[in-house]
């Protein structure tokens, strides 16, 4: 399972799409481990179809609910891989089990560390250190009284807390009308691809269903911020959701393969 796909999935299930015909939006991801780097992405939606392009990372992700397929495209290499929803579910479950084991091992080692060093590690790891405790934690979603404008849209803040501590803040707008018609697509998508509670993803996906409106800004633990800089309703051409002609099919990269390639 590719780390880039997982990050895009998190972004997609957070976004409750906002129009019955189609929508296009641009966003910027910054903060946390990115340092001064800002990653820009462009996303497209038509009923039963999603696409996110992150050229900074050489990655295009297409999700087809109509065919139950996920395509990852590399424009630089002119290659693509495909994964069925069933295969994704199996990979997510396997990855979740592996990461749980790794985090359990890390926690045992941290118990032997001096208190100052342990606290520093916990701060660095952020939400990842929640582990199994995070899955059992009580998640609550609260609409706050805070408001502001983002990219010209009036937004209201929703706070997602875990055992009383804010872990995600979402600024959403209801100025884009008709998003209720699209909730079914997003709920189907998240129910299929976020079956594992890897790092609490399933629990958060369920909690975020209570958030009303299109998310213009998402602040996550660790200082990561995803902000929509432009959004517009429009029809999107059908070929945006197809693999370009002339691209070579390659096997999907697993998490282990990705990690070994980066070492």
pLDDT surpasses 80 at 84: yes
The whole-number pLDDT of residue 255 equals 46
Of the candidates 32, 9, 24, the one whose C-alpha atom is nearest the C-alpha of residue 241 is: 24
Mean pLDDT (the chain) is 80
The whole-number pLDDT of residue 200 equals 62
C-alpha distances in Å from residue 230, one per residue of 153, 239, 255: 10, 22, 32
Burial state string for 66-103 with b = 16 or more CB within 10 A and e = fewer than 16: eeeebbbbbeeeeebbbbebeebbebbeebbeebbeeb
Count of beta carbons in the 10 Å neighbourhood of residue 135: 18
Across the range 70-88, mean pLDDT stands at 93
pLDDT tens digits for range 220-244? 988 999 999 999 888 889 999 999 9
Its pTM stands at 0.74
pLDDT surpasses 50 at 67: yes
pLDDT surpasses 80 at 213: yes
pLDDT surpasses 70 at 11: no
Residue 177: band (very low, low, confident or very high) from pLDDT cuts 50, 70, 90: low
Q: Which residue has the tokens 């399972």?
A: 1
What are the chain's domains? 3-248 (2.50.20.10)
The whole-number pLDDT of residue 261 equals 44
């Amino acid at each position: 399972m590719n780390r880039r796909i997982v990050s895009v999935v998190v972004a997609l299930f957070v976004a409750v799409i906002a129009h019955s015909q189609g929508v296009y939006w641009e966003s910027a991801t910054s903060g946390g481990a990115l340092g001064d780097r800002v990653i820009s992405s462009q996303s497209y939606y038509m009923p039963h179809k999603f696409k996110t392009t992150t050229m900074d990372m050489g990655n295009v992700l297409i999700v087809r609910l109509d065919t139950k397929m996920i395509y990852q495209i590399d424009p630089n290499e002119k290659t693509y891989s495909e994964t069925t929803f069933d295969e994704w579910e199996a990979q997510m479950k396997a990855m979740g089990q592996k990461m749980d084991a790794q985090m359990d091992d890390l926690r045992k080692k941290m118990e032997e560390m001096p208190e100052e060093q342990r606290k520093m590690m916990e701060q660095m790891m952020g939400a990842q250190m929640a582990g199994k405790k995070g899955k059992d934690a009580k998640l609550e979603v609260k609409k706050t009284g805070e408001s502001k404008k983002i990219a010209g849209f009036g937004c209201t803040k929703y706070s997602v807390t875990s055992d009383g501590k804010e872990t995600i803040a979402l600024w959403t707008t209801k100025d884009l009308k008709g998003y209720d018609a699209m909730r079914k697509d997003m709920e189907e998508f998240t129910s299929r691809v976020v079956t594992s509670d890897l790092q609490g993803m399933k629990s958060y996906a369920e909690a975020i269903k209570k958030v009303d409106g299109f998310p213009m800004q998402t602040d996550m633990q660790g200082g990561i911020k995803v902000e929509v800089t432009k959004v517009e309703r429009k029809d999107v051409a059908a070929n945006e959701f197809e693999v370009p002609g002339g691209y070579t099919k390659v096997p999907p990269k697993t998490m282990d393969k990705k990690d070994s390639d980066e070492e």
